[in-house]
Amino acid sequence: MDKKNQSDGIKRRRFLQIGSAFAASAIYLPLSGNLFGALSGNNAKISIPTVKLNNGLLMPGLGFGTNTLTGDIGERSVYDAISVGYRLIDTATVYGNEESVGAGIKKSGIKREELFVTSKLWVDDSGYENSKKAFQTSLSKLGLGYLDLYLIHRPRGDVKGSWKAMEELYSQGKIKAIGVSNFNPDQLAELMAYANIKPVINQVETHVFFQENIIYEDLKKKDVQMEAWSPFAAGRNGIFSNETLAAIGKKYNKSIAQVVLRWHFQRGIVVIPRSSQKAHMIENLNIFDFELPKSDMQIIAKLDLNTTQFPEWE
């Protein structure tokens, strides 16, 4: 093997090792190469790694968050996100934007099976009958025939009744995977004790300032995928001017946003950053061509304040 091939081989092996930390069965979802031409100055392809959920479904490891993106901005942002390569779109009933998200998807012209769409059941709709109705409302607002992932947004109300309804919708093929959000280890264990179908995901607040290591380890043990909401802490606590993150980024010619997303990726966490700006959307996708060594991962680990940045939602 000549030197170049050897070095390519080592790089590839290292990349795959990270991929396998991400998910034992990570594969790479090819996206249209020319969409990224403007970014790289050539037709280089960016592939978003996927995770295999515990029911066998493949999910992109990086997607697009839509909280607060409502109305025309919501529609345009979702359209832009799909056009630059995002395939996972995260919405929720309580965001009040399912119609805008649906309009953006429709306008993109993308084939349904190429997208992975998540929505969430709000607490006011908990319980068996309410959940079924709420799901149908979400589906019709989105203009879709099925959802890829449906989550119980918060562990409140009649969670057991909601889960039963979601299991039925799953069995009928109306949802490809079901999961939860904002559940602590005990709440998740309680649900798993009566569930016939195991949740695939727990979507929780996770970022450099709130690393949630207890939940992180617990989900690994339970074989439930961790997904980070507010992967940038929604910009709080000065994340985009943090000197430690900036210094790390400088070494690899990457922005703070890219360092943060890469850190999540190397921890094996699915991320759904939100942006209303196309340039940021592209920047946030461009994290698969560098690697943070263990030393940088350890420096970032020390930024943990072990406390929520959203006390108003507690």
Q: List b or e across 255-280, with b for residues whose CB sees 16 or more CB atoms inside 10 angstroms.
A: bbbbbbbbbbbbbbbbbbbbbeeeee
Shortest approach of ligand NAP to residue 178 CB, angstroms?
A: 14
Q: Which of 28, 79, 86, 95 is catalytic?
A: 95
Q: Which single residue brings its beta carbon nearest to ligand NAP?
A: 65
Shortest approach of ligand NAP to residue 66 CB, angstroms?
A: 5
Closest CA relative to residue 308, chosen from 207, 161, 172, 186: 207
Alpha helices in 119-212 (DSSP H): 128-142, 159-171, 185-194
Shortest approach of ligand NAP to residue 227 CB, angstroms?
A: 8
What does the binding site for ligand NAP look like in residue numbers (CB under 6 A)? 65-67, 90, 153, 181-182, 203, 229-235, 240, 255, 257, 272-277, 280, 283-284
Those residues whose C-beta lies under 8 Å from the C-beta of residue 13, and which sit 6 or more positions away, are none
Strands (E), the chain: 28-29, 48-52, 58-60, 64-65, 88-90, 116-121, 147-152, 175-181, 201-205, 225-229, 270-271
Complex with ligand NAP: residue 52 or 280, whichever CB lies closer: 280
User: What is the C-alpha to C-alpha distance for residues 30 and 253, in angstroms, rounded to an integer?
Assistant: 25
Complex with ligand NAP: residue 19 or 64, whichever CB lies closer: 64
User: What is the C-alpha to C-alpha distance for residues 44 and 12, in angstroms, rounded to an integer?
Assistant: 16
Active site residue 95: yes
Shortest approach of ligand NAP to residue 34 CB, angstroms?
A: 22
Complex with ligand NAP: residue 58 or 272, whichever CB lies closer: 272
Complex with ligand NAP: residue 181 or 266, whichever CB lies closer: 181
Active site residues: 95
